[in-house]
Amino acid sequence: MIFLVNLARVIFAPLLSEFVAVFGIGEGTAGLIATLAWLGSALPRLPTGWVLTWVPRERVVLVAGTVLTIAAVVTASATSVVLVGTGALLMGLSSGVYFVAANPLVSELYPERVGWALGTHGMVSQVAAVIAAPFVTLVLALFFDWRIVFVCIAAVAAVVTVVLFFVARATDIPHAGTDDRDLIGAIRAQWRVVLLGVAVIGTTGFVWQGLFNFYELYMGTKGLGGATSRNLLTVIFAAGVPAFFVSGRLVDQLPRVPYIIGIVAAFVVSVLALTAASGFVPILLLTGIIGYVVHSLFPAIDTYLLDTLPDDSRASAYAWYSAGMMAVQATGASAVGNLREAGLAYDAIFVGLALGLGGVVVGLTTLQRAGRIPQ
């Protein structure tokens, strides 16, 4: 299921150039389509947190599968860019519902190995990101119709949702969050931990959203061919597969806050290096490094949050974090698209974004040394 919901979010990136050609739109509008998928992922997170105070997590996961199936059908039947955007928003909704319900559930299924469990869970989602660009390339080569991509997602999502229903019914699900019934009380008690998560993932995700959604077009400005540029998306996501697994294990062993800050700092440096790079080999190496570094952050921050938050507020506080960080990062692609249409070069855009994120690293480091960040 996580494979499918993450595919639903990232599948639009390798399709942006196709939408530009088919619908005759600019990069700003194309970026808005990608933004809608991630904005859709942000919108239901807080309401889902409230629902989870009354409904078991596994049932909400099943709802996410149902929404994904319907959303993929809507997108596959789209005949205008407006309908494509609507489908992107709905597909994003399914992922938002899923992550808020499933991540706390996974952490509770493996309370002694939270980092390992979340790392493995995230690694599977990353496989979806890896196959997104090759999948789009294959579909376009065989069928010459981007709609087939969403027909396939709808069909598989329907089957998986039915199978998951029977698996969940036959499984002894833990209910560690039975006392988690106060959405407002959770944020009042855990606002420091939540704020750290939003600051780290929201700002880093904003830069990451703008970068990977326009990676194919960005690489074209560096002299790489269309097929090569698209396949570099595969590289950047493939590097995240081992990153989830390794980082999930490392975060169980290392001081978590310094480890998280170090990852963000490494991401800043690698993006700045990419803007200065030229030639296929250096770009290929930096693409792999960026993919590994940024995907190391996700299991690290989830482990920090879900292992720090107590049973009586875990899902509710995580929902606040999830909604906040997604609202911040969701507009990254749209921002980059608009800056590009305003005449700025991609290199200049990403230098500015990286330097801004560097300021966040300095602020977090200062707070860490002053003992102001919850450990």
Tokens of 264: 């963000």
* pLDDT above 90: residue 13: no
> How confident is the model at residue 178, as a pLDDT?
67
pLDDT classification of 322: cutoffs 50, 70, 90: confident
Tokens of 308: 């720090």
Q: Residue 244's closest CA among 123, 106, 118, 99?
A: 123
- Mark 195-211 as b/e (b = at least 16 C-beta within 10 Å): bbbbbbbbbbbbbbbbb
The angle that helices 280-308 and 240-253 make with each other, rounded to 10 degrees, is 40
pLDDT classification of 11: cutoffs 50, 70, 90: very high
**Do residues 204 and 294 lie in contact, with contact meaning Cβ atoms separated by under 8 Å?**
yes
Mean pLDDT in the chain? 90
Over the stretch 189-220, which tens digit does the pLDDT of each residue have?
899 999 999 999 999 999 999 998 899 889 99
Residue with tokens 């938050």: 309
* pLDDT above 70: residue 39: yes
Alpha carbons 244 and 135: distance in angstroms, whole number: 22
Alpha carbons 32 and 207: distance in angstroms, whole number: 15
> How confident is the model at residue 109, as a pLDDT?
85
**Do residues 72 and 157 lie in contact, with contact meaning Cβ atoms separated by under 8 Å?**
yes
As a whole number, mean pLDDT of residues 103-131 equals 88
| 352: Cβ contacts below 8 Å, ≥ 6 apart | none
Residue with tokens 């480890």: 259
Q: What are the start-end ranges of the H helices in the chain?
A: 2-10, 16-23, 27-42, 45-51, 57-76, 81-109, 114-143, 147-169, 183-197, 203-213, 215-221, 226-238, 240-253, 256-276, 280-308, 314-329, 332-341, 346-369
**Do residues 131 and 90 lie in contact, with contact meaning Cβ atoms separated by under 8 Å?**
no
Cα 182-188-191 angle, rounded to 5 deg: 120
Tokens of 147: 């709609």
> How confident is the model at residue 234, as a pLDDT?
82
Domain 2-369 sits in CATH 1.20.1250.20? yes
Q: Where are the domains of the chain?
A: 2-369
Percent above pLDDT 70 for the chain: 99
Q: Please state, in angstroms and as integers, the Cα–Cα distance from residue 65 to each residue in 48, 57, 94, 153, 154, following that order.
A: 14, 13, 7, 11, 10
The angle that helices 81-109 and 114-143 make with each other, rounded to 10 degrees, is 150
Over the stretch 139-168, which tens digit does the pLDDT of each residue have?
999 988 999 999 999 999 999 999 999 998
As a whole number, mean pLDDT of residues 111-122 equals 88
Q: Residue 289's closest CA among 254, 329, 247, 240?
A: 240
